[in-house]
Structure 1
Amino acid sequence: MAEKFVAIDFETANASLASICQVGAVTFEDGRVVDSWGSLINPQDHFDWVNVDIHGIDATTVKDAPTFQQIYPAMLDRLRDQVVVSHTSFDRTALFQAIAKHNLTGVSCRWLDSARVVRRAWAQWSRSGYGLSNVCGALGIRFTAHDAVEDARAAGEVLLQAISTSGIGLDAWMTLVQKPINVNARKPIGPTFSNQIAMKGNPDGALAGEEIVFTGTLTLARCEAAVLAAQAGCQVATGIRRTTTLLVVGDLDIRQLAGHQKSIKQRKAEELIAKGHPIRILTESDFLRIVDLVH
C-alpha cells in the first residue's frame, strides 16, 4: 500500500501562534517528494523582533502577500483527508489557532507528530535532544532551518528515516506514538495538584525535554498551569535560566509591546534569545491549546 503523508510547517510573526507569516507543505508518497508548496502570508498582525531575528520575515516582506484567509483554500486542498506530519505540536496548534482566529472551517485529516516518532525510533532522543535541527544534523539531512518549506521537508525526511530504521510503517506509527516510550517500564506517577510551582515533568509526556516558566497574569492559578505543563512532560521552573526553552506569558501581558511594559522574566528571556538561546515565547491560550492536544 502506498505510504503518503503531507509534512507542514509554519513561521509566526510574534508570540501568538495564530500570527502565521509563512507556510510550507511538502507531500511525500512512497518515500519521495511529489509536491512542494509554500507561501508568505500577511498575518495582519505586528512583528516581534524575536521572531524576525529567527526567520528573517518582517512586515515589509509580507506587505503584498495573501492573508491567511486567502491562502487557506490552497492549504485545505493539500491537507484534506491526508496524514499530516508536524515536528512537535506547535505547528498543529498554530493552524488550529489561526483557523479559530479567522472563523474558518477546520480541516479533516489525521495528525502525526514526527518528534514523538523520533523519541520512540531512536533511544538517544527518547527524553531530550529531539529538536528538528539536532536530529537532522545527526541523520545527515541538510536543510535551511526556519524556512517553512525546508522545515516541512526535513520533518518528512526524518519520518522516512524512522520508518526505514525501525521497519515500522506509517499506519503503525500512528498508533505507536500514543503509547509509552518504554512499554515495559513502570508508568511514571504524574504530578498532582498542589501550591508548588517548580516540578518535574512526566518523562513520557509529549513535551518532555522542555523547561517551562510562567509570567504575567494568567487565567489559571499558576500552580494549576504548572501541573498541566508537568503532565505534558515539561520541567517547570520558577525563573528564566539558560536551560529554559518555553516562556508562557498571560494573553493580556503579551500584547504590551513596549519593552519597559514587559515582565522581568520576559525581558530576561529576550536577552537570552538575543544571545542565541532557543527559547520560545507563547501566549497562555496557545499553551492551553498545546497541552490539550498532547494529552
Structure 2
Amino acid sequence: MNFLALDFETASSQPHSACSIALTMVRENKIVGEFSTLIKPDTPFSPHTINVHHITPDMVQDAPTFAQVWPVIKQYFNPNSLIVAHNAAFDNRVLSACLAYSGFTQPTYLTLDTVRTSRACYKKLPNHKLNTVADYLNISLNHHDALEDSRACALILIHQATHFDLSLLKPFVSYYPK
C-alpha cells in the first residue's frame, strides 16, 4: 500500500490550534520518509493539552505557523492521496480548521481511520486506542508525540495490509471532505 499517515497535536480544544504535525510516508508497505514540526498556534495553550503532549508555549515560540507549514506539505493532499490517521475524524477536522483559519482551500483526498480498521482486524482487544493497538503489535510508541503517533499509525496499517485481505480494509476508505 501507498499512503501518508498524519497526526496532529493541538494547543487547546479549538481545532485550529495545531501545535505539532507529523507525516509518515509509506510506499509499497515501507516507510520511506517522515516530516515533523512544531507549529506556533494563534491561540493559548490549555493546561489539559500540555499535560497530554507536554508541548508548551515556550517550545513553539520560534516554530512556523500553520500558514508557513502548509505550502511545504500541501503536495501530499490530493484526490489520489490516501491520508491515514488513528482517529481520522480528529486529524481531518484539525487540518480543515487550520486551513480555513489560515485562508487556504480545503483539498479533497482519500482517508482511512486505523481505529476502525483495528476494530475489524483485532476484535479481541479491550479497546482500539493507538497505544493499545501499538502494544499488541509490539510497536514502540511515545504516545502523543506527533511523529511517534504517525509512525505507529503507519506501522499498524502496514501490518493490516500484509496480514489481512485488503478487501477487509477497502470499506473504510472514503473521500474527505465528503
TM-score above 0.5? yes
Aligned-partner residue type, residue 116 of structure 2 = R
| 2:172 aligned partner | 177
Shift of 1:78: 2.7
Letter in 2 for 1:62: V
Which region of structure 1 is more displaced relative to structure 2, 115-124 or 100-109? 100-109
- Asked if 2 retains the 8 angstrom alpha-carbon contact of 1:6 and 1:79, the reply is no
Inter-partner Cα distance in structure 2 for 1:48 and 1:130: 26
Q: Give the structure with higher Rg (CA).
A: 1
Q: Tell me: CA distance 1:87–1:53, structure 2 relative to 1, closer, same or farther (3 Å).
A: same
Which residue number corresponds to residue 86 of structure 1? 85
Aligned length: 174
For 1:12 and 1:24, the matched residues in 2 are separated by: 12
Structure 2 residue matching 1:35: 3-state secondary structure = strand
Greater share of residues in strand: 2
Deviations 1:89-120 (A, max 9, x none): 21111111111222211123211111111111
Bigger RCO of structures 1 and 2 (CA < 8 A, at least 6 apart):
2
Find 1:154's aligned residue among 134, 146, 152: 152
Q: Could you tell me whether the CA contact under 8 Å between 2:108 and 2:177 is conserved in 1?
A: no
Q: Secondary structure at the match of 2:144?
A: coil
1:63 aligns with 2:61: yes
1:66 maps to a residue whose letter is P
Identity %: 27
What TM-score do you get using the length of structure 2 for normalisation? Answer: 0.90
RMSD of Structure 2 on Structure 1 (CA): 1.9
User: What TM-score, normalized to structure 1?
Assistant: 0.56
* Paired letter, 1:95: L
What letter corresponds to residue 98 of structure 2 in structure 1? A
Alignment partner for residue 131 of structure 1, among 121, 129, 132?
129
Structure 1's consecutive aligned runs of 4 or more residues displaced over 6 angstroms after TM superposition are none
Residues 107-159 of structure 1, C-alpha deviations (whole Å, 9 max, x = no match): 2321111111111112214xx60110011001101121111111001001111
Listed as ranges, the matches of 1:138-149 within 5 Å are: 138-149=136-147
Distance in 1 (CA, whole Å) between partners of 2:15 and 2:27 is 29
Q: Is the 8 A contact 1:121 1:165 kept in 2?
A: no
CA distance in structure 2 between the aligned counterparts of 1:93 and 1:44, rounded to whole angstroms: 17
**Counterpart residue number, 1:111:** 111
Match of 1:257 in 2: none
Pairing partner for 2:29 from 16, 28, 31: 31
